[in-house]
């Protein structure tokens, strides 16, 4: 690994650390979202229901942005492949891109459900 590759990798690690901080924020926000859902279920509180929907939309919007970043990064890795790379590296890079694409698609679907399901009939969760 040459100097420029090391610098690029360190930049990527810094971005990934920032993403982990965002995930911690999303986890805390999800606890708040669950408390709103609980309040709606127990007391039929319509304000809590709407706040719950809004928090889900915010959560999945942020996740879609993160998922898009990783999809874009994975796509760039595919574009950087060359004929001298090993078959194993090529296969794993393509699989990584496919996984990123599927995760992004799932995020978009969950976001669509959060927008569309005003009655909160569909349970959505992310893992």
Q: What is the pLDDT of residues 79-117, one digit of tens each?
A: 999 999 999 999 999 999 999 999 999 999 999 999 998
Long-range CB contact pairs, 3-12, < 8 A, 24+: 12/73
Q: What is the pLDDT of residue 71?
A: 97
Q: What is the pTM of this model?
A: 0.87
Average pLDDT value over all residues in the chain: 92
Beta carbons within 8 Å of 18's beta carbon, 6+ residues apart:
none
């Amino acid at each position: 690994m040459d100097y420029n590759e090391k610098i690029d990798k360190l930049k990527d690690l810094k971005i990934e650390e920032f993403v982990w901080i965002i995930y911690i924020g999303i986890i805390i926000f999800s606890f708040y979202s669950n408390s709103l859902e609980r309040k709606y279920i127990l007391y039929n509180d319509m304000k809590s229901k709407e706040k719950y929907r809004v928090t889900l939309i915010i959560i999945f919007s942020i996740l879609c942005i993160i998922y898009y970043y990783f999809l874009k990064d994975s796509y760039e890795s595919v574009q950087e492949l060359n004929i001298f790379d090993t078959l194993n590296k090529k296969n794993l890079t393509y699989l990584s891109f496919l996984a990123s694409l599927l995760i992004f698609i799932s995020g978009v679907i969950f976001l669509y459900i959060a927008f569309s399901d005003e009655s909160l009939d569909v349970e959505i969760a992310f893992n």
